[in-house]
Structure 1
Amino acid sequence: MHTDDARRPLVIHVPGFNEDAFSHAGYALLLAHAGVDALVMNPPWRATPENVQADPFMLWRLFDGMDAQLRASESLWSGRRLGLSGFSMGGLWASRWLATHERRPIDAAALVLASGDYSFMPRVTMAAFPALAAAVPEAVLGDVEVAMRERSPIGDLTALPPMPLLVINVANDPRLPADNALRFHAALQRSYSEVGQGEALETTLLRGDEHRFRRAFQQRLVAWFAEQLTQSS
């Protein structure tokens, strides 16, 4: 749901693995009803053969592709008050974009069922793709997890504050362990507190056991973006 009215704020939304722009069309409609335009991306991580190779580090190649896609869409959002939301893998990518790129165009962001610590990804991916499990023996899995964490945004989150940020996770997420989510929350809290911007950050770990962009999450994001992006417009 996108208009040419530059006075309206806009939220760029990036869906999760094997999802496209149509997957979260309902979220875009909710934003539109709240006076916020939406640009829902078609991310480069659909379950195509080239995206299920036995390579635990292919995540960065996919994220590089998403970086290029966002830059190519700049004419659609340049000059707007701008929000960024990401669900699941879309949230993993968003954490990297916000931490490692010039985030100045982004006025507020929200991550749902995501983390800036990618060390959990090898085990989750191996469970889904047997070819990857065969390529990464258990004996070296710990080393792979350490390498993934070292290359994750959690190592340096200083670029995020004072940007308003909402992070939502669930306690029994079948894909993202709670200890990983809480580690990310704690790192964010330190980064925001160190610059006196703790009030700009909201992290929450809710009850739940599904990895799904629930309507309740969508409604929470819509209310939050409407508040953050329209209060000064």
Structure 2
Amino acid sequence: MPAPKDDLSLLIAAARAAGEVACGFAGPTAKSWDKPDNAGPVTEADLAVNDLLLSQLRGARPDYGWLSEETEDNSDRLRHDRVFIIDPIDGTRSFVAGENTWAHSLAVAEAGEVTAAVVYLPLRDMLYAACRGGGATLNGTPIRSSSRRELAEATVLAARPALVAERWHGGEPPVFKRSYRPSLAYRMALVADASFDAMITLRRTWEWDIAAGTLIVSEAGGTCSTAKGAPLRFNNADPRVEGIVAGGPAIQAALIDALA
């Protein structure tokens, strides 16, 4: 089988091609509609990018499984040793609004662990990449996660629902500086390059939102786990994770300790 660095080269090329396709659509004027069961919006750009990635990635690796937000899931992927985990456009609402904080999130997982990953923001010209054991980079330059140790001084990316009092010991969240970005993949990338000390989401989260970011954070020296501190595993039969906390090691551990 190809080495993780060979898979990474494939993911980088595919991500850049995806960016060209997505940028060919004008976000606010791209056709969009809501998915069933309040699953959020989807646009013609999401589907076009998904078609491109499916063709390029599985064309190059036909023996890999496939899990994507924009492809109907089935159990076939569970029979493969390796699987692509893809979010064609993470942050579709931002894309529709004409903003520049949406991303392509591409990963390969083997035996439950991510081995190669890319998060690419074409409108910001930011390409985060990592392969297992090879470190993490932003536009080819190595990055490291935060070394901050004091939670009260930390900047944490979190949506307001994560601050609900009953989710925390003592009935209220600890003191930290909160900020927000709509794309989960981008949030994790910003943790990997130490723009923020940590990120947290306590809702059930789809694997395609976090698979690439998990490896990028880990290879940048950070720590990722479920909201209960358990290791993250991928290509599950139900491709959802019970929340995620990612950050520099000290701040990530402090957030896990503070959660009820």
Q: Normalization by structure 2: what TM-score?
A: 0.31
Relative to total residues, which structure has the larger helix share, 1 or 2? 1
TM value normalised by structure 1: 0.33
Structure with more contact order per residue of length (Cα contacts < 8 Å, sep ≥ 6): 1
